[in-house]
Amino acid sequence: MYVLGIETSCDETAAAVVADGRKLLSSVVASQVDIHALYGGVVPEIASRAHTEAIYGVVENALEKASVKLSEIGAIAITYAPGLIGALLTGLSFAKGLSYTTGIPLVPVHHIRGHVAANYLVHPDLAPPFIALVVSGGHTSLLKVNDYTEYVSIGQTRDDAAGEAFDKAARVLGLPYPGGVAMDKLAAKGNKKAVKFTVSSVDDAEYDFSFSGLKTAVINYVHNELSRGREMDEAFKADVAASYTDVLIRTITSRMRLLMERDASVPIVLAGGVAANSHLRNAVSELADSYGVKLYLPPLSLCGDNAAMIAAQGYYEYKAGLKAPLSLNAYATRAV
Ligand code: KG4
Ligand code: ZN
């Protein structure tokens, strides 16, 4: 069955066609990053307006690239939560209109489930149960995926997401928005022991994360050093990037190590924009190897927001009997 996926939860307008939840036929992503970079972050109203302009062309393009006609589509999978509300509503309203006029069923997809499902498109042997770690600009969630549509939350961030923490440090170091990729490259050139940052923990919730303290720590460190006359040169920036990346990774891997110590029989799946980070990929690979745990990593092309992941998850939601009424609403926050 062909599923048309549509994703507009943040700053990418995306559409894709996937066959049977596993085979990627097309994936079109129109990024708004250049527009938001002018403001140093995503401006919600601008995002909604840019989605409105782009969505029709992106959907047409995805169908064309897949060589699939709209009449051959079996379900329309749409991200309904979580995300920027105006941005979500733009894609949702478009998908509803398409469903209403064609009679093709509408299937609601949770964005975080979508990120996990990106892995189904490249790992034919991957099937639940597994543990998933979703690290992106908006989310940091440790999940037990018991079945394709049965998710249990194990841990999550209490404040900022890992991607937000990367972006904040990047901003302080004067790197362009979004800073994840630049931080990745810069960190490779620095000494990770140069600055001492401590791994944070959350009382009574050993699998939860907290990144806001680290964000403050890096801002204070850079400002203090500069006020003491330190130059913001490449070597300084690289050392801060390396040390900060290292503590963020140790924060993440400490929770994963705990899980693996308790049960090394369940595979681990990484997902989300930050899963593109080369240092995180290496650290998690080493950790999984040391416990003999099977690890699945998404390709870089499917780490960030896209609609192929929404179509992949939509297929499994549809098979489980999920179909949305045309009164479906969008939600800025929603449990996975
Ligand atoms: O999954 P995504 O595209 O959007 C959300 O659902 O939030 O994630 C975007 C986030 C941004 O914060 C970006 O800086 C971060 O992923 N990111 C990275 C890397 N590539 C993207 N962070 C660290 N290292 C990277 N290589
Ligand atoms: Zn995302």
Examine residue 240 and state whether it is found in any structural domain, yes or no. yes
- Whether the predicted pLDDT of 14 surpasses 90: yes
| Each residue's pLDDT tens digit, 186-198 | 999 999 999 999 9
- Measuring from atom 16 of ligand 1, which residue has the nearest CA? 273
308 in any annotated domain: yes
Given ligand 1 and candidates 112, 136, 281, which is best to mutate, with the most ligand atoms within 8 Å of its CB?
Answer: 136
Mean of all residue pLDDT scores within the chain: 97
How many Å lie between the centroid of ligand 2 and the Cα of residue 137? 7
Q: Is residue 332 part of a domain?
A: no
**Residue 137 CB less than 6 A away from ligand 1:** yes
Report CA(320)–ligand 1 centroid distance (Å).
Answer: 30
What pLDDT is attached to residue 97?
A: 98
Residues 287 and 182 in one domain: yes
Is residue 250 situated within a structural domain? yes
Q: What is the mean pLDDT of residues 225-251?
A: 97
325 inside domain: no
Tokens at 280, concatenated: 């995180």
Residue 218 confidence class, pLDDT cut points 50, 70, 90 = very high
Whether 317 lines ligand 1, by a CB cut-off of 6 Å, is no
How much is the average pLDDT of 100-124?
A: 98
146 and 179 together in one domain: yes
Co-location of 169 and 282 in the same domain: yes
For residue 208, tell me if it sits in a domain: yes
Mutate to test the pocket of ligand 1, among 13, 115, 119, 166 (most ligand atoms within 8 A of CB): 166
Mark whether 233 and 174 lie in a shared domain: yes
* Ligand 1 contacts CB of residue 114 (under 6 A): no
Give, for ligand 1, the residue of 32, 181, 274, 278 to mutate: max count of ligand atoms closer than 8 Å to Cβ. 274
Instruction: Give the residue whose CA is nearest to atom 18 of ligand 1.
Output: 180
CATH number, domain with residue 214: 3.30.420.40
Same domain, 134 and 280: yes
For residues 24 and 299, the answer to whether their CB atoms sit within 8 Å is no
Same domain, 33 and 101: yes
- In this structure, the answer to whether residues 266 and 309 fall within a common structural domain is no
| Residue found under tokens 């070597």 | 235
Instruction: Please determine, for residue 233, whether its predicted confidence score (pLDDT) is greater than 90.
Output: yes
Burial 185-217 (b: 16+ CB within 10 A, else e): ebbeebebebbebeebebeeeebbbbbeebbeb
Mean pLDDT of 227-249: 97
Please give the number of the atom of ligand 1 that sits closest to the Cα of 304. 3
Residues contacting residue 302 through CB under 8 Å, at least 6 positions apart: 27, 118, 119, 121, 122, 308, 309
Which pLDDT band holds residue 177 (cuts at 50, 70, 90)?
confident
56 assigned to some structural domain: yes
In a domain, 327, yes or no: no
Do 280 and 147 lie in one domain? The reply is yes
Same domain (yes/no): 157, 289 = yes
Do 286 and 208 belong together in one domain? Answer: yes
- pLDDT confidence tier of residue 120, bands split at 50, 70 and 90: very high
For 47-64, the pLDDT digits (tens) are 999 999 999 999 999 999
Pair 51, 100 in one domain: yes
Domain span at residue 172? Answer: 128-297
Total structural domains in the chain? Answer: 2
Please check whether residue 104 is in contact with residue 98, taking contact to mean a CB–CB distance below 8 angstroms.
yes
Q: What is the pLDDT of residue 236?
A: 98
pLDDT higher than 90, residue 169: yes
Q: Are residues 202 and 221 in the same domain?
A: yes
Residue 284 pLDDT grade (very low, low, confident, very high; cuts 50, 70, 90): very high
Give residue 274 CA to ligand 1 midpoint distance, Å.
4
Give 296-324 pLDDT, tens digit per residue.
Answer: 999 999 999 999 999 999 999 999 999 99
Binning pLDDT at 50, 70 and 90, where does residue 178 land? confident
